[in-house]
Amino acid sequence: MNLRDTLEISLKTVVSYRTRSILIVLAMALGVAAVVVLTALGDGARGYVVGKFSSIGTNLIIVLPGRAETAGGFPGALLAQTPRDLTLEDAHFLGQLPQVKRYAPLNVGVIELAAAGRLREVTVLGSTADLLPVRHMKLGQGSFLAHGSEYSAQIVLGSKIAQEFFPQGNVIGQRVRLGDRRFLVSGILAVQGESMGFNSDELVIIPIGHAQSLFNTSSLFRILIEARSRSDIVSAKESILDLMKRRHDGEEDVTVITQDAVLATFDRILRALTLGVAGIAAISLAVAGILVMNVMLVAVSQRTSEIGLLKAIGAPSSDVRRLFFAESLWLSLAGAVLGFVLGQFGSLMIRLVYPQLPAWPPVWASIAGVTIAILTGILASLLPASRAAKMNPVKALAGR
Amino acid sequence: MIRLTAIKRVFKMGDQDVFALNGVDLSINSGEYVSIMGPSGSGKTTLLNVLGLLDRPDSGRYELDGSDVTDLSETEQARVRRDKIGFVFQSFHLVPRLTAEENIGLPLILSGVPHSERQSRVNEALRGFDLVDRAQHRPAELSGGQRQRVAIARATILRPTALLADEPTGNLDHKIGAEVMNLLESLHHAGTTLILVTHDRELGARAHRHIAMRDGEIVADEK
């Protein structure tokens, strides 16, 4: 019997046992769909977190004072001795490194903001014009801090602060008071919500010089640095450490965090998670495989006399084996295809319902799901097919 | 063309050996019409199975068309069955999912007859067995006589040298049974060797050579 006839006859058989075939195909399809959808969810979660991290800046390097002596924990917060401060001068020198595209020194404090007869405490960021691009912030109205204006009395308001103090709008150009100093509102940040611990809607940003004198300090909270490219990050980190060591009398007393490292860790964890759920889903495929085997075994015993007949009219065992083998191949193939479609559809639904979650099934998962389904079907057919092939024709004809 | 020499076939029943065939010697020439009769358990069906290469004797020698087929491999025996032997069973043994013409065409598929040629040969058989208007029916939609005609058409589509019929009218009423017998005999007239197993004396008497069996042995062989 040639391949085409084998496939044709087995397909006919599959189609004629409609209910049985539909149930098997569904079981297979659900297994494949589970693999596709669950990995889409896992990968979506990974994409979501990675996206969040990129939103705080790309190729970002953060320099903070103090040496993290222990692994883990938040560096700078766990220090036993007072580290040497980071200064604006340090920042300027770091900005001269060839791998550095731009940088923004940062100071943070809390102080009272007064304007239009209202008063509240706000978090103040002191920085420079480059904070906007380095930190991927967006401006809603007006302009950000001007370049080279470390002491000009400009202030940029978070969107919620602007809304609270000037509910009637028309904010640009208004005067506000921070502590004992007056500032002119030059811009308003776009609504961004909370990201990485800061709610940028409730911040105000002023030039770094004003911030330092307001808080009466010459040190910096941290320095944000944007490397020229992703490949520059590692060498930039080394150069920064090296430079700071030279500037700090040979003592390595700063900590450099690359966003890459944090990101890579999250990436690894979430990738493992995705693999984990894919594995769990694959178990359902194995269960479907056992179902296929079960049904095929029943089919073989139900069709005993038919197998006997095939042998009597001259079918060799190999033909009989191939017929049953092809039958389960059809079933698992149909299950795999239907499952793939269901999985893609399910992922699409997730993306429609949760647009912020990029739940695209990874290609490897779709391929793996379909392949495992087909392999399971093949494996599950081996025993029934060989049982059919080995039947004694005389007994089989008698239905025994 | 068929020569059996000292064929023995033993079945184990508990701890006892039962000789279904106990040293059978038999020659059947090409074109003969032979009936094999005997009570149940006399070994006639086992003899037919051995003749049809469905069952292997435990000892003895089987020559078919001049060549020894006793020790052929399973696959080779399957090929001999396909090309030289046609079976007609009491219970028809049609594949329930396939239509009449698909059932008839099965041996053509097994022997690798090209697609293009199959349909014309099946059509020829449908005409020959008066089944043209039943071609697309499944076995469940056919009468007993029609089913047996489909089975005979299937058994003869590859023009076997020998047709082995085991109680071919056993499931049919008298009138339809007679029709089926006429059909088989017309095939014999066309040159096919016909070997008929039955315990119906009247049916057996129609053959030209009568073999009687008892306890696994041939006790009479008359022309």
What is the per-residue pLDDT for B116?
Answer: 87
What is the per-residue pLDDT for B49?
Answer: 93
CB-CB under 8 Å, B52 with A313: no
Whether A149 shows a pLDDT value over 80: the answer reads: no
Closest CA of chain B from A288, distance in Å: 26
Beta-carbon contacts of A237 under 8 Å, excluding residues fewer than 6 positions away, are: A61, A256, A258
Whether A75 shows a pLDDT value over 70: the answer reads: no
Q: Does A11 touch chain B (CB under 8 A)?
A: no
Report residue A320 as tokens. 């009989």
Average pLDDT on B84-107 reads 92
Using one digit for the tens of pLDDT, what is the confidence trace for A108-129? Answer: 999 999 888 889 999 999 999 9
Average pLDDT on A314-330 reads 92
What is the per-residue pLDDT for A83?
Answer: 64
Average pLDDT on A140-150 reads 82
**Domains annotated on chain B, with CATH:** 2-222 (3.40.50.300)
Whether A213 shows a pLDDT value over 60: the answer reads: yes
Residues of chain B contacting A397 with CB distance shorter than 8 Å:
54, 89, 93
CB atoms within 10 A of CB B140: 9
Report residue A152 as tokens. 């000009």
- Length of chain B (residues): 223
Cβ–Cβ < 8 Å for A191, A159 = yes
Report residue A274 as tokens. 């995705």
Whether B157 shows a pLDDT value over 90: the answer reads: yes
Report residue B56 as tokens. 């292997």
Instruction: State the Cα–Cα distance between residues B6 and B122, nearest whole angstrom.
Output: 40
Whether A74 shows a pLDDT value over 60: the answer reads: no
User: Which candidate, B43, B144, B95, places its Cα nearest to that of A16?
Assistant: B95
Q: Does A313 touch chain B (CB under 8 A)?
A: yes
Out of A2, A306, A311, whose CB is closest to B95? A306
CB-CB under 8 Å, B82 with A315: yes
Chain A nearest-CA residue for B110:
A1
Report residue B119 as tokens. 């349909």
Closest CA of chain B from A325, distance in Å: 17
Give the 3-state secondary structure of residue A195. Answer: strand
What is the per-residue pLDDT for A180?
Answer: 86
Predicted confidence band of residue A71 (pLDDT cuts 50, 70, 90): very low
CB-CB under 8 Å, B112 with A314: no
Phi-psi region of A173 (alpha: psi -120 to 50; beta: other; left: phi over 0): left
Whether B61 shows a pLDDT value over 90: the answer reads: yes
User: Which candidate, A52, A97, A21, places its Cα nearest to that of A270?
Assistant: A52
Average pLDDT on B53-79 reads 92
Distance of CA A340 to the CA centre of its chain: 22
Residue A43 φ then ψ, to 5°: -70, -35
Residues of chain B contacting A309 with CB distance shorter than 8 Å:
93, 95
Residues of chain B contacting A306 with CB distance shorter than 8 Å:
93, 95-96
Residue B118's H or E segment, with its range, is helix B115-128
Using one digit for the tens of pLDDT, what is the confidence trace for B189-202? Answer: 999 999 999 988 88
Chain B nearest-CA residue for A314:
B82
Chain A nearest-CA residue for B74:
A316
Using one digit for the tens of pLDDT, what is the confidence trace for A48-63? Answer: 887 877 777 778 888 8
Residue B129 φ then ψ, to 5°: -105, 15
Beta strands A100-115 and A175-178: pairing type? antiparallel
CB-CB under 8 Å, B82 with A308: no
Residues of chain A contacting B95 with CB distance shorter than 8 Å:
306, 309
More confident of the two residues A26 and A198: A26
What is the per-residue pLDDT for A197?
Answer: 62
Select the residue from B82, B102, B111 to test the A interface by mutation, using most A Cβ atoms within 10 A. Answer: B82
What is the per-residue pLDDT for A82?
Answer: 53
Residues of chain B contacting A2 with CB distance shorter than 8 Å:
112
Residue B217 φ then ψ, to 5°: -130, 155
A87: DSSP letter? B
Cβ–Cβ < 8 Å for B147, B139 = yes
What is the per-residue pLDDT for A283?
Answer: 86
**Amino acid letter, residue A309:** L
What is the per-residue pLDDT for B189?
Answer: 93
Residue A41 φ then ψ, to 5°: -65, -50
| Tokens 């917060």 belong to residue | A77
Instruction: State the Cα–Cα distance between residues A28 and A288, nearest whole angstrom.
Output: 5
Closest CA of chain A from B118, distance in Å: 12
Report residue B204 as tokens. 């057996």
Residue B18 φ then ψ, to 5°: -110, 125
Average pLDDT on A273-278 reads 86
Of the listed ranges A91-95, A286-290, B192-196, the one predicted with least confidence = A286-290
Classify residue A4 by burial, with Cβ atoms within 10 Å: 0-12, 13-18, 19+. exposed
Give the 3-state secondary structure of residue B193. Answer: strand
Whether A80 shows a pLDDT value over 50: the answer reads: no
Instruction: State the Cα–Cα distance between residues B26 and B7, nearest whole angstrom.
Output: 9
CB-CB under 8 Å, A314 with B110: yes
User: Which candidate, A255, A188, A179, places its Cα nearest to that of A212?
Assistant: A179
* Share of residues in chain A with pLDDT > 70 (%): 94
Cβ–Cβ < 8 Å for B78, A321 = no
What is the per-residue pLDDT for A70?
Answer: 45
Average pLDDT on A278-296 reads 85
Beta strands B162-166 and B85-88: pairing type? parallel
Q: What one-character-per-residue DSSP string does A286-337 give?
A: HHHHHHHHHHHHHHHHHTHHHHHHHHHTT--HHHHHHHHHHHHHHHHHHHHH
User: Which candidate, A390, A394, A387, A393, places its Cα nearest to that of A301?
Assistant: A387
Whether B185 shows a pLDDT value over 90: the answer reads: yes
Cβ–Cβ < 8 Å for A325, A381 = yes
Chain A nearest-CA residue for B163:
A313
Report residue A332 as tokens. 């698992």
Whether A195 shows a pLDDT value over 70: the answer reads: no
Out of A313, A317, A397, whose CB is closest to B106? A313
CB-CB under 8 Å, A313 with B155: yes
Instruction: State the Cα–Cα distance between residues B12 and B10, nearest whole angstrom.
Output: 7
- What Cα–Cα distance (Å) separates residue A373 from each residue in A67, A300, A327, A337, B2? 53, 21, 14, 10, 51
Predicted confidence band of residue A65 (pLDDT cuts 50, 70, 90): confident
Domain ranges of chain A: 3-52+269-397, 84-252
CB-CB under 8 Å, A305 with B54: no
What is the per-residue pLDDT for B211?
Answer: 94
Residues of chain B contacting A313 with CB distance shorter than 8 Å:
81-82, 87, 106-107, 110, 154-155
Instruction: State the Cα–Cα distance between residues B175 and B180, nearest whole angstrom.
Output: 9
Average pLDDT on A193-208 reads 79
Question: pLDDT averaged over chain B?
Answer: 92
CB-CB under 8 Å, B107 with A1: no
Instruction: State the Cα–Cα distance between residues A208 and A218, nearest whole angstrom.
Output: 10
Instruction: State the Cα–Cα distance between residues B75 and A184, nearest whole angstrom.
Output: 98
| Tokens 């007609």 belong to residue | B88
Distance of CA A17 to the CA centre of its chain: 44
Cβ–Cβ < 8 Å for A125, A106 = yes
Instruction: Quote ipTM for the complex.
Output: 0.92
Cβ–Cβ < 8 Å for A345, A36 = no
Closest CA of chain A from B195, distance in Å: 16
Out of A309, A314, A397, whose CB is closest to B82? A314
